């Protein structure tokens, strides 16, 4: 289950208040879901400002502390590790440096925090370098791994972290071209009316075309990155094993990024149909307020039971895609159920 950043923070805050905060979290989600901002909020939660900057306003009300970025918070109590160099890798030395910082004494009541941005860029060597600390961290140490592609991490790392998957934020300026194109296709379909097999199959074709284009873009980008690495390092390695491993890495990265984009498009479908249901129930808060007139028109033409059945068709698509079912077959069944 994916959470909003606010919901995820609330869960962590409640655990901290009860003295049951885990020592390692894996924060995942698509671009724009607020992963780094959530990490910064957690850092400020465990190490609140003690410089008198948080007080009361003129009316005696407690002021909400200003949220800072990870860059602003980085210092003795917080070490941030990021992918660096042209290869965008996190090295073994990076992780060993983070590990050493955990063993430096801090002031009483203060936490040592490590944040690893782009954690999937570590590779097996860097991941293994801090496994012992991940298993048995020093007291009052917190590790936050942030990743768009957690499936690239070693199972031994995944099993030692509490997972916090964040959902995309629809209609908040982070949708991206693909989701905006899908919204346009949904608007065109809505004019024909939900319930037409031809309209459903046309929408499915648009969805598949967007996915195919995104996969091609991702593949070209990662192929170029692999060629750049091969050219730079092919004469500095002892054997071809390193290049073979890097090729496997980029293939896995391409698949991971594609699946993330596919999930964002499915989330757009879920939110759009969810808005139709909310319009039917006269709920004001919508995920896509800019599409209000369109979703209201669809809502007026269907019963609530019919709309809920269509919503189930999209949710079933997610479940089916987690199996070995052929992607295009799963899409066709789902679109005919949800929109046909």
> What ranges do the domains of the chain cover?
5-165, 176-339
pLDDT digits (tens, 9 = 90+) for 27-82: 988 766 788 899 999 999 998 876 554 455 555 555 555 678 888 888 888 889 88
- Domain 5-165: CATH superfamily is P-loop containing nucleotide triphosphate hydrolases (3.40.50.300)
Does 284 have pLDDT greater than 50? yes
Does 15 have pLDDT greater than 50? yes
Beta strands in the chain (DSSP E): 24-28, 78-81, 112-117, 141-147, 162-165
What confidence category does residue 171 fall into, taking pLDDT thresholds of 50, 70 and 90? very low
pLDDT digits (tens, 9 = 90+) for 260-280: 788 888 888 888 888 898 888
Q: What's the whole-model pTM score?
A: 0.58
The tokens for 174 are 């982070």
* β-strand partners of 115: 80, 144
> What is the arithmetic mean of pLDDT over 290-311?
89
Nearest to 267 by CA among 163, 174, 336, 134: 174
pLDDT of residue 115: 92
Q: What is the DSSP string of 72-101?
A: HH-SSSEEEE--BTTTTB--HHHHHHHHHH
pLDDT of residue 172: 43
The tokens for 267 are 């989330």
List Cβ neighbours of 49 (8 Å cut-off, separation of 6 or more). Answer: 65
Tell me the HSE value of 308 on the side-chain side, using a 13 A CA sphere. Answer: 5
The tokens for 66 are 């200003």
């Amino acid at each position: 289950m994916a959470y909003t950043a606010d919901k995820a923070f609330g869960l962590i805050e409640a655990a901290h208040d009860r003295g049951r905060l885990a020592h390692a979290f894996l924060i995942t989600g698509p671009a724009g879901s607020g992963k780094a901002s959530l990490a910064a909020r957690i850092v400020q939660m465990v190490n609140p400002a003690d410089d008198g900057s948080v007080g009361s306003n003129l009316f005696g009300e407690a002021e909400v502390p200003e949220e800072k970025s990870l860059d602003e918070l980085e210092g003795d109590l917080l070490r941030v590790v990021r992918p660096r160099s042209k290869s965008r890798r996190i090295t073994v030395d990076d992780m060993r440096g983070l590990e050493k910082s955990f063993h430096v004494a801090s002031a009483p009541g203060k936490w040592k925090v490590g944040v690893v941005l782009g954690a999937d860029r570590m590779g097996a060597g860097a991941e293994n370098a801090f496994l012992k600390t991940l298993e048995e961290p020093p007291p009052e140490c917190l590790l936050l791994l942030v990743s768009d592609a957690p499936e690239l991490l070693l199972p031994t790392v995944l099993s030692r972290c509490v997972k916090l998957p964040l959902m995309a934020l629809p209609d908040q300026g982070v949708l991206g071209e693909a989701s905006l194109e899908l919204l346009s296709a949904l608007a065109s379909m809505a004019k024909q009316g939900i319930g037409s097999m031809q309209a459903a199959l046309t929408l499915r074709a648009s969805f598949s075309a967007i996915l195919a284009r995104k996969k091609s873009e991702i593949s070209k980008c990662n192929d170029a990155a692999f060629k750049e690495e091969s050219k730079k390092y092919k004469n500095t390695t002892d054997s071809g094993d390193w290049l073979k491993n890097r090729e496997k890495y980029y293939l896995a990265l391409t698949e991971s990024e594609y699946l993330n984009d596919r999930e964002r498009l499915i989330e757009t479908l879920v939110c759009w149909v969810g808005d139709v249901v909310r319009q039917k129930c006269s709920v004001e808060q919508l995920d896509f307020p800019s599409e209000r007139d369109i979703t209201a028109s669809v809502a007026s033409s269907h019963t609530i039971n019919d709309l809920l059945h269509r919503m189930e068709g999209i949710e079933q698509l997610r479940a089916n895609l987690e199996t070995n079912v052929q992607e295009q077959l799963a899409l066709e069944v789902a679109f005919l159920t949800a929109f046909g």
